[in-house]
Amino acid sequence: MTSIEKIVRDSYRFFRPPPKLTLSEWAEHYGYLPAESSAEPGKWHNIPYQVGIMDAITDPRIERVTVMKSARVGYTKIIGHCIGFYIHHDPCPIMVVQPTEGDAEGYSKEEIAPLIRDTPVLRSLISESKTRDSGNTILQKQFPGGTLSLVGANSPRGFRRVSRRVVIFDEVDGYPPSAGSEGDQIKLGIRRTEYYWNRKIIAGSTPTVTGLSRIEPMFEDSDKRRYFVPCPHCQEFQVLSFPNLKWPEGKPLQAYFECVHCEKAIEHKHKKEMVEKGRWVGERECAGHAGFHIWAAYSYSPNATWGHIASEFLMAKREGPEALKTFINTVLGETWKEKGDAPEWERIFERREHYKWNQVPKEGLIITAGVDVQKDRLECEVVAWGKDKQSWSLDYRVIPGDTSEDFPWKELFASLLNEQFSCDDGSLMPIRMIAVDSGYNTQIVYNQVRKFPINRVIAVKGKDFAATLISAPQAVDVDWRGKKIRRGVKVWSVGTNLIKTELYGWLRLPKPTAEGEPYPAGYCHFPEYDEHFFKMLTAEQLVIRTTKGGGRRYEWEKIRERNEALDCRIYARAAAALSGLDRFTKDQWQVLKNQRSIEIGKTRPQNPSQDHQKKRKVSPFLKQDRSFW
């Protein structure tokens, strides 16, 4: 070969485009993990189950990729490398949709900025946002051949007047029902890709609730791939399924999988070898839509050992339905099946307990009350609460009278605020907080609540779709200039949907059958109220409704006209949350228990006077030998 031929050959090699890489190859070659969001920063290395997901994203035969997953499987990093791939190796316009605009900003700062900074091939392609003409903002990054846009699913403007070849929908089950008045965000985002023959539509999420989850129907529409691994004993392939996770009684850290073929125990020490030999298998032939389900049992995370997963499950069972729901969503990567029907009132009625009216059991350590306001009466439930959110209904009172007048209010507060409830151990306990509904006769409620200290009596208002059990208070009193008075009446918003879901989960908990077996967390105890109380308590059910924007959401609807007992319990629960029920530590519960012990031996009140006895009225919800103030 002459020197001229060699020069020509080398010139061709210089101008030859780089080899086409798959996403997994690109990540292995160029990927880095930033220190801000990684336990082990530095060079990236693929976990075997991640390879199939990555390569489906860059497979030209596949247009859509859906991932229904748990936490701790590295999906966020997969998406980061996907963005890096399309910036560096296959430049094009990209859109990433986060649940809210705030989430998009957080994702940009916590994931995208470190990704660009720590990946050399990306750092040179995107300029820093130090000048006005850099084209680089928190929500928009420009690079040769394309643009990266980060938008919130709550804002319709992010979907307007743009075309994108790659759209990534992240955590779709966290999206609001619609993007303002413009409808479903996923449809809006897909519409932005219509001009590209080689478009990519990627969606991933931890699932939430069956019927409301967006990721579950998308996965069901795909080829539904699951990761099969070989048994180290018989070499037969199988999916790691939670029902096959076993452990010796009382020893969850010794958890193992039972092989579905040879039934031998597969210990955690075999996991890495099994995952390395694993493969994705779909339920049907792929027609351009690849779907993947992956959960924590496959993860290499030190917090995802099989023993750790078993321990998490047992803890969630002890803590109650909400904790179990979180486990199913975030550890198993599956949807929670909400029981929409109201609990059967007959079953709760049949498991009533014979404990003394107004008598606080030894486990009850704080008392709250919830008041529902009607035109011609006040209804109130008094509830004792203990560790693990167990509760005991102490009394249900109905105080007749025009609630626009003072009389029923005076009777209500005179009894509730002055009463000391007798405890099993001989101590006395007052009501810690009373929550009064302000949805009806609002100004009257404000006037009544204003008379008492804010740490004893509060006004509340139900909000169906609130994100928390109880929100920060809002001042409602104003002066002559219309300015809110700082020390005036405040109203707390109560997440009624959340509390109803929690309560109905508690009401379904089974009563222990074995002698000495503890009650489950959240168990609700009731005295011998009559059936009308329990019909009111279970007077609503959960249904799915379609919103104006085309989204879906759960709503509660009445199945019986009277639901005052349910409302009273909701407000008592809100008062308990403000009193510390959800945040007390083990030591704080012990302090409450010790404080009650100090009260033992103090002078007990004499029997009520005849005048006081005259004010007692027989409760329509209690047996005739019980009464209420």
pLDDT for the residue 618: 40
Q: How many CB atoms lie within 10 A of CB 442?
A: 15
For the full predicted model, state whether its pTM sits above 0.95: no
Q: Which candidate, 308, 310, 233, 246, places its Cα nearest to that of 274?
A: 233
From 63-72, 156-165, 234-243, the region with the lowest mean pLDDT: 156-165
From 428-437, 503-512, 582-591, 613-622, the region with the lowest mean pLDDT: 613-622
What is the DSSP-derived secondary structure letter of residue 280? E
Average pLDDT value for residue range 177-183: 72
* Mean pLDDT score of the chain: 88
DSSP symbols for 316-366: HHHH-HHHHHHHHHHTS---B----SPPPHHHHHHT-----TTEEPTT--E
pLDDT for the residue 628: 31
Tell me: pLDDT of 222 over 60: yes
- 76, 247, 257 from 296: Cα distances, Å: 14, 17, 14
pLDDT for the residue 14: 47
Tell me: pLDDT of 91 over 90: yes
User: Contact, 453 vs 485, CB < 8 A?
Assistant: no
Q: How many CB atoms lie within 10 A of CB 468?
A: 12
